[in-house]
Amino acid sequence: MMKNNKGFSYIELLIVLGIMAVAIGFVSLVPGMIGRTNVNKAADKLVTALGKARTTSVAKGTYEGQMMITCDGNDINCFVGNLTATSKVFQNIARTPVQLYYVYDDGSSHLLENGYFVSIRFDQSSGAFAKNAVDAYVDKLILTDGEHTATIQLYKETGKFEIK
């Protein structure tokens, strides 16, 4: 006796369609996840650098722990340490297309452009933020790639910061 298998059963067809739906759903989510990851990684790196700068400032002095964020071509870089000495800690924060905006406590917002920098200082005695090189406090650091955004809120009175 021979069986005549001329097609798929409904169960087999549903299983194949289910697998294809999951695969298509995953592929459509990957590009959005990659951009968000770049912005989140940059925010995490900045928070780590802020923590190092605050700790160094309290331990060694305001100018030993100051932090400078620069834009050099396609890179956003961060330096922690006495910026006039050779003992600086350098870290690459992000690459294009991630951009950094910094907001002063007066509400003015600025894009960190190629060749420019923003400095952040901590007071040695209290650990609170100190006025920077342009006699202002940085209130927020905003990282964006056009679609995804991460904001680091800085609290000048306490020297604390958080990613929002």
- The one-character DSSP state at 7 is S
12 pLDDT higher than 60: yes
User: What integer pLDDT is reported at residue 62 of this predicted model?
Assistant: 76
SS (H, E, C) 10-53: HHHHHHHHHHHHHHHHHHHHHHHHHHHHHHHHHHHHHHHHHHHH
Q: pTM score, two decimals?
A: 0.76
Q: How far is the C-alpha of 113 from the C-alpha of 117, rounded, in Å?
A: 8
More confident residue, 62 or 38: 38
User: What integer pLDDT is reported at residue 128 of this predicted model?
Assistant: 93
31 pLDDT higher than 90: no
Q: Over the stretch 95-139, which tens digit does the pLDDT of each residue have?
A: 888 999 999 999 999 999 999 999 999 999 999 999 887 888 999
Q: Which residue has the tokens 């925010």?
A: 43
32 pLDDT higher than 60: no
Considering the chain, what is the average pLDDT of its residues? 86
85 pLDDT higher than 70: no
45 pLDDT higher than 90: yes
User: What integer pLDDT is reported at residue 4 of this predicted model?
Assistant: 65
**Residue 87 near residue 77 (C-beta atoms within 8 A):** no
User: What integer pLDDT is reported at residue 134 of this predicted model?
Assistant: 82
